[in-house]
Amino acid sequence: MKLGGNFFEDLGPGQLLRNPVPRTLGEGDRSLYIALTGDRNPRNCSDEFARSLGFERAPLHDLLVFHIVFGRTVGEISLNSPGNLGYADLRFLRPVFPGDTLRAETETLGWRETSKGDTGVVWVRTTGFNQRDEHVLQFYRWVMVNKRDPGTPTVADDAPEMPAEAGRAHLAHLPYPRIARFDASATGGSAFWEDYEPGERLAHPQGMTIEEAEHQMATRLYQHTARVHFNQHQQQASRHGRRIVYGGHIISVAHALSFDGLENVVGMAAWNGGSHTNPTFAGDTLFAWTDVLERIDIGRDDLGALRLRLVAVKNADPSKEALPLKVTGEDGRERYAPNVVLDLDYIALIPKRAVAV
């Protein structure tokens, strides 16, 4: 691992990087995840409920697993990054429990210098493993990375095509135990897979204000070290003048907010894609809504999938005012409205009515 991290010039395609610092997860990580994000899904916090779903005990939150695997890769991929541009084909491949040790490997897939010449985009695929070398997670992402030497052009112009969505084959072989019975009194929800209609918008009535100490603690918990999140001395000279909240924390908070309104989710199966569309800063209050895009039958009689769009906005309450997702600028180009901070296309798992008790 290079001191100060890799720069764009270091990240040409075809490399397989063993990302350092394996990490054993435990009960402390579970509690901190709840304290920092507000997660209330009983699948993640009740051993009793998780056993009723077929697990030995409560798995750790899927997004905690994502953050830990992502955190492994920052030192080599995105320490010198002004921002992560997007995700594709993220698959949750196996539940993770306290005591498991995660590590990551990342392949560089492509790169392209930006027109200004001071940065470039790097495409990578990361795989997370547990201590038995079983795959627990994989995802593609592309990220802006600073050049070490902005004055010297590279010939990097090799942008790979990203998967348009997570493979349907993945959904057909989900590593999810068979649900014998689903007691909705534990979740407080009443909607099952059959009740969600494509086109429906689910409101999430709560809002959550983010503090500096909170996003810093979350990001350090994941051992994610990108300096834009922690170093105010550096950031006060930046365009924003402030530390930027790790985009993954936004995903976690928005997903926790969705517990009110998006009922009976028992796990994430995959992400098709996602973007951090604007930065979030301490003091911002997050709100979220979910659009139901598609109801997917995965060939099980206990469990179905929903393709969802989770949108997070800041400092505006979508239950009180109409908020456009995108706006057209003076240049005629359409872009995300300035208070939209997340647009995530993902697949959630919801029990079918047949297992309701």
**Beta pairing class for 201-209 and 285-296:** antiparallel
Q: In the set 196, 230, 271, 289, which binds a copy of itself (CB under 8 A)? A: 230
Please say which residue, 53 or 88, places its beta carbon nearer to a copy of itself: 53
Residues 183-199: b if buried by 16+ CB within 10 A, e if exposed:
eeebbebebbbeebeee
Residue with tokens 């908020």: 323
User: Which residues 179-208 are close enough to bind a copy of itself by CB under 8 A?
Assistant: 185-189, 203, 205-208
With CB under 8 A as the contact rule, the residue among 29, 62, 89, 343 that binds a copy of itself is: 29
Measured from the CB atom, is 146 or 216 closer to a copy of itself?
216
Does 352 bind a copy of itself (CB under 8 A)? Our answer is: no
Residue nearer to a copy of itself on the CB measure, 18 or 178: 18
SS3 of 220, please?
helix
Touching a copy of itself, residues 122-141 (CB under 8 A): 131
Nearer to a copy of itself, 217 or 325 (CB): 217
CB 291 within 8 A of CB 200: yes
Interaction of residue 356 with a copy of itself, rule CB under 8 A:
no
Near a copy of itself in 242-281, by CB under 8 A: 243, 260-261
Element (H, E) at 120: strand 119-129
Q: Rule CB under 8 A: choose which of 114, 146, 225, 275 binds a copy of itself.
A: 225
Q: Which of 9, 10, 12, 46 touches a copy of itself (CB under 8 A)? A: 46
Q: Does 58 help bind a copy of itself (rule: CB under 8 A)?
A: yes
**Judged by CB under 8 A, which of 9, 10, 12, 45 binds a copy of itself?**
45
How many residues sit in the footprint of a copy of itself (CB under 8 A)? 74
Q: What DSSP designation does 246 have?
A: P
User: Residue 184 and residue 187: Cα distance in Å, rounded?
Assistant: 5
Closer to a copy of itself by Cβ: residue 19 or 278:
19
Q: Is residue 285 a contact point for a copy of itself (CB under 8 A)?
A: yes
Question: Is residue 177 packed enough to be buried (19+ CB in 10 Å), middle (13-18) or exposed (0-12)?
Answer: middle
**For residue 134, what are the contacts with CB-CB under 8 A and spacing of at least 6?**
93, 94
Let me know: does 292 contact 200? Beta carbons within 8 Å.
yes
Among 4, 117, 163, 338, binds a copy of itself (CB under 8 A): 4
Query: Site residues for a copy of itself, window 310-349 (CB under 8 A)?
Result: 315-317
Tell me the chain's radius of gyration from C-alpha atoms. Answer: 20
- Separation of CA 159 from chain center: 22
Question: Is residue 15 involved in binding a copy of itself (CB under 8 A)?
Answer: no
The Cβ of residue 330 has, within 10 Å, a number of other Cβ atoms equal to 5
Q: Of 27, 230, 226, 200, whose CA–CA distance to 143 is shortest?
A: 226
Whole-number minimum distance, CB 303 to a copy of itself, in Å?
A: 20
**Closest distance of CB 161 from a copy of itself, Å:** 30
DSSP one-letter code for 245: P
Tokens 């994502």 correspond to 66
User: What is the smallest separation between the CB atom of 93 and a copy of itself, expressed in angstroms?
Assistant: 19
Scan residues 143-182 and list those touching a copy of itself (CB under 8 A): none
Q: How far is CA 101 from CA 25, 26, 73, in A?
A: 6, 9, 15
